[in-house]
Structure 1
């Protein structure tokens, strides 16, 4: 069994068509067909079955595909580690993060790191909390910022790098918009604009409202901080957002007010795969990030309300 056979097999499984697979591999169609046939003969099974003009994996082909995918990823990782060993300042860092950190934090820390290592490449992947945990566990990314930080997980580990305050976000003409600070109970009866289920900020806000003695009345559920901030500014309701989600990106901006009872915060962690050796370049970036947050003491926010933990 040759690596080339496995690569051809994976490409055909992906495209479900020999001709299309051959075009992407830049080889003759007959070469792909021959390698697949030899692989099936060696295994003694049919990996594909005809479905119209396309090919579909047989049940045993699906099982084989999962294993081969892992093997190829491990091999690619091994080759990358060798290259990074020879020149760790020219590797690639795969990092995941939630949308709320992509507005300001990620561009800032990446820019700072590239001042030291200008030849390092980055591959970014945005996602929600469950998908980020899954991506790290599966080795799809080397590092990921997540919120909240998982206290204990079988497949990932890391460090809390920030504890960030959440502010009440109000329409500019709201009676409490000019207050120095408020209690969360003062927003009882208001229409709330929250992230939909699956986003980590939703349960934090929900639990804080319950502690304040009420269940939030949801007027709208969104997926991006820009949308939530804009709807609040337009007078559609109120919300709670972290400071990193409040950097101005358009002229229409809501008011923000500090909450003193209960104090509402979120933890932000930097995680990596448990018991797995990071590529040298990713290890350098992790060390840089831990030093950066330890020395800077804030999430690059202008008034420093986000504190390093």
Structure 2
């Protein structure tokens, strides 16, 4: 079976007419008919039935069309991947990241990178820690920011690019809202607004409270940074968030207070598949990111 036969078959199936298909393919009608006939012989099944002046797919033909289209689409993507690999300036970077990085960091680094490489495009996937790791392993993204950085993992590798301080966020009328810094134990009696199970910030907050000597009272749970921030601002409780998740996004904002004890941080890593070379365009972006964080002195 030849790729040419698949191309001819798909074109005839779409046009439902050999002559029109041959015209679009810029080949002789007899060549198209011959290739379709050879394909039917090889498959041992009729793919078309004559219906007046047109052709109609048989049930087997309709089934084969779905498969043929997938094969040709995969081939097209493979050719595109090769072209992108050979010319990184026209490639696509598939990047994963957690929601908390989407407010400022991702737009900033992508904007900066595209000033240097204006023809490179991006495809983004946001998710929780387990899904981001899975996306890298399955090859659905080339690179992904994750928090915390997985120190040991059999299928992914990478670098810690950022260690970020977490701040206490309080309602504006909270009795500690005017303080420059507090000890976390001072929030022992407050209700906490936490991320739902599966989000990496939840265990960080939980472990910090336990280290401070108490188990947090969970008042509310949420899945978006905006939700956590908004509930705290509305007086529903307190929480801990990294600074990059505290950019104002509305009129109602919580108060940010530094935590003196214990010291609370999160690590953010850039990961990719182990034992596999990155496409050149993704490799160029990886190098850019390492330089970017190093120059900013925030690693």
Q: Counterpart of 1:161?
A: 161
Structure 1 residue runs of 5 or longer lacking an equivalent are: 8-21, 43-64, 298-306
Partner of 1:84: 84
* 1:199 aligns to 2:199 (yes or no): yes
Structure 1 distance, partners of 2:80, 2:208, is 45
Structure 2 distance, partners of 1:26, 1:211, is 67
Residue by residue over 1:200-233, the C-alpha shift from the partner in whole angstroms, topping out at 9 and shown as x without a partner, is 0000100111111111110110000001101100
Could you tell me how far apart the structure 1 residues matched to 2:198 and 2:192 are? 17
Structure 2 counterpart of 1:226: 226
Between the aligned partners of 1:244 and 1:259, the Cα distance in structure 2 is 16
The alpha-carbon distance between structure 1 residues 261 and 83, as it changes in their structure 2 partners (threshold 3 A), is same
The CA deviation at 1:82 is 2.0
Q: Structure 2: 5+ residue runs without aligned partners?
A: 19-35, 45-66
Alignment partner, residue 126 of structure 1: 126
Q: Post-superposition shift, 1:81?
A: 3.9
* Residue 27 (1) aligns with residue 14 (2): yes
Matched, 1:141 2:137: no
Taking structure 1 as reference, are residues 283 and 201 closer, same or farther at Cα in structure 2, changes over 3 Å only? same
Does the 8 Å contact 2:86/2:280 carry over to 1? no
Mapped partners of 2:92, 2:272: distance in 1:
15
CA gap of 1:149–1:4, structure 2 versus 1, over 3 A, is: farther
1:259 aligns with 2:246: no
Match of 1:283 in 2: 283
Question: What is the CA–CA distance in structure 2 between the aligned matches of 1:227 and 1:145, rounded to whole Å?
Answer: 22
TM, length-normalised to structure 2: 0.77
- State whether residues 194 and 228 of structure 2, in contact with CA within 8 Å, keep that contact through their aligned partners in structure 1: yes
Structure 1 residues 210 and 91: alpha-carbon distance in aligned structure 2, compared to 1, 3 A threshold: same
Q: Does 1:116 align with 2:123?
A: no
- Cα deviation for residue 159 of structure 1 reads 0.4
Partner of 1:183: 183
Q: Report the CA distance shift for 1:77/1:213 in structure 2 as closer, same or farther (over 3 A).
A: farther
Q: What is the DSSP-based 3-state SS (H/G/I as helix, E as strand, rest coil) of the residue aligned with 2:221?
A: strand
3-state SS of paired residue (2:153): coil
Shift of 1:135: 0.3
CA deviation after TM superposition for structure 1 residue 123, in Å: 0.3
CA distance in 2 between partners of 1:155 and 1:74 (Å): 25
Partners of 1:81 and 1:280 within 8 A in 2: no
Instruction: State the aligned residue count.
Output: 261
Per-residue Cα deviation, 1:117-165 (whole angstroms, up to 9, x for no partner): 0110100110000000000000000000000000111111000000000
Q: Which has the larger radius of gyration?
A: 2
